[in-house]
């Protein structure tokens, strides 16, 4: 039983490290891209089409707690709004 608990702890810690590490990598890449365009907000995946918009939104939903912590701590930025493609129709 003790082995199983230890194994679960190792898996939980590894998952947490991957979660925070992937957020850090994706968000900082988005920050650099936002700086390049002079934007205040950032995208996890730049929205070139509907698929990339959906991927960006999924990343935002998955990383929302870390985005909020990053903003409160003062090291992060807010997520940019997605473009309104249907506005001109």
Per-residue model confidence as pLDDT tens digits over 45-79: 988 888 999 999 999 999 999 999 999 998 888 88
The share of the chain scoring above pLDDT 90, in percent, equals: 67
The share of the chain scoring above pLDDT 70, in percent, equals: 92
Give pLDDT, residue 75: 85
| Global confidence as pTM | 0.83
The neighbouring-strand residues paired with 79 are 42
Ramachandran quadrant class, 38 (left: phi over 0; alpha: psi -120 to 50; beta: rest) = left
Give the separation between CA 50 and CA 78, rounded to whole angstroms.
Answer: 21
Backbone angles phi, psi at 60, to 5 degrees: -60, -45
Give pLDDT, residue 64: 95
Nearest CA among 17, 19, 29 for reference residue 63 = 19
Mean confidence (pLDDT) of the chain:
90
């Amino acid at each position: 039983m003790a082995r199983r608990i230890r194994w679960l702890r190792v898996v939980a810690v590894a998952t947490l490290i991957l979660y925070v590490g992937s957020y850090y990598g994706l968000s900082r890449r988005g920050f650099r891209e936002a700086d390049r365009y002079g934007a205040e907000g950032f995208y996890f995946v730049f929205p070139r089409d509907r698929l990339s918009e959906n991927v960006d939104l999924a990343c935002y939903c998955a990383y929302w707690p870390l985005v909020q912590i990053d903003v409160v701590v003062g090291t992060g930025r807010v997520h940019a709004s997605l473009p309104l493609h249907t506005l001109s129709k």
